[in-house]
């Protein structure tokens, strides 16, 4: 990636101030903790995952920030800055003002507006405080496990979470949560899939617009993004963890769906093309 633009000023670095974190276990119904971590790599609506009393806080282990830590922060700040340029322009075209989110970097665990956040949950967006939360070390570990490496794959993860923020500003998240009420688990999961696929499409739209105006993409970047989208498909993760697939339990979409919607945003660059709620096949 070519990231020559200014760094975003909306990065809050809490690394070294965590609560220990990596020893905190996270339960789940996806075949074990490790699979849960991978399944949440590209984010999830934390409203359900963070319900209940906060997990016990453990004393954090302070560590000195290294040159590598500084480089990682600069990369994230530049990617976030690229998303701000795209979405500020897009909202201005609609006669609206884009309210930029804050991206929180943390180590192990931290407190969020949606509850106690742990690295094992993967990157996520909290609509309550309009912040994106990422443990960069943990995210890099998961990328290696999935074989979804590369700078653009990491940027795609950030853009996906910012996509959830855009959904929040448009009222999509609140409308979806309202629509979930009174529905069964399968119907609720199907709605969540549409939310996640739309965020994938918005990430693709961002990449298209940023490249058109600032030529950020290099050879191989698109393939990295498509590979990252495919790596976290529910079908692929379920097949790897339990040997079979249960479509009714999908919350993020299949590999093919995630690739399709990211590609749709990338190829069209239009918000209208990202309407996953229009009905019909995904």
Integer CA distances (angstroms), 232 to 35, 172, 176, 202, 245, in order: 10, 23, 22, 17, 14
Query: Do residues 211 and 270 make contact, with C-beta atoms less than 8 angstroms apart?
Result: no
Bridge-based pairing of strands 131-134 and 124-126 is antiparallel
Query: Do residues 129 and 139 make contact, with C-beta atoms less than 8 angstroms apart?
Result: no
- DSSP per-residue string spanning 51-66: -SSPPPP------PPP
Task: Write the pLDDT tens digit of every residue in 172-216.
Answer: 999 998 988 888 888 889 899 999 999 999 999 999 999 999 999
| Spatial distance between the Cα atoms of 47 and 125, rounded to a whole number of angstroms | 10
CA 272 from chain center: how many Å?
A: 21
pLDDT of amino acid 64: 66
| Spatial distance between the Cα atoms of 116 and 52, rounded to a whole number of angstroms | 9
* Token reading at 155: 């940027």
243 band by pLDDT with thresholds 50, 70 and 90: confident
pLDDT of amino acid 32: 29
Task: Write the pLDDT tens digit of every residue in 18-46.
Answer: 554 332 222 222 222 333 444 444 444 44
pTM of the model: 0.83
């Amino acid at each position: 990636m070519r990231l020559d633009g200014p760094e975003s000023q909306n990065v809050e670095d809490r690394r070294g101030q965590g609560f220990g974190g990596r020893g905190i276990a996270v339960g789940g119904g996806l075949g074990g903790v490790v699979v849960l971590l991978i399944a949440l790599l590209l984010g999830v609506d934390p409203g359900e995952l963070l319900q209940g009393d906060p997990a016990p806080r453990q004393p954090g282990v302070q560590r000195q920030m290294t040159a590598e830590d500084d480089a990682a922060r600069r990369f994230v700040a530049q990617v976030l800055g690229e998303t701000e340029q795209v979405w500020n322009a897009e909202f201005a075209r609609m006669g609206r003002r884009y309210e930029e989110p804050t991206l929180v970097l943390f180590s192990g665990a931290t407190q969020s507006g949606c509850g106690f956040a742990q690295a094992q949950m993967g990157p996520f967006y909290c609509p309550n405080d309009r912040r994106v939360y990422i443990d960069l070390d943990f995210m890099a570990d998961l990328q290696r496990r999935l074989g979804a490496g590369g700078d653009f794959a990491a940027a795609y993860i950030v853009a996906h979470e910012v996509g959830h923020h855009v959904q929040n500003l448009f009222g999509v998240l609140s409308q979806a949560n309202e629509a979930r009420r009174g529905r069964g688990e399968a119907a609720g999961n199907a709605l969540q899939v549409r939310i996640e696929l739309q965020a994938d499409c918005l990430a693709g739209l961002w990449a298209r617009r940023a490249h058109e105006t600032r030529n950020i993409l290099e050879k191989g970047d698109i393939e990295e993004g498509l590979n990252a989208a495919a790596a976290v498909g529910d079908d692929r993760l379920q097949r790897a963890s339990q040997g079979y697939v249960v479509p009714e339990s999908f919350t993020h979409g299949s590999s093919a769906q995630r690739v399709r919607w990211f590609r749709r945003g990338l190829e069209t660059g239009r918000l209208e093309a990202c309407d996953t709620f229009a009905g019909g096949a995904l």
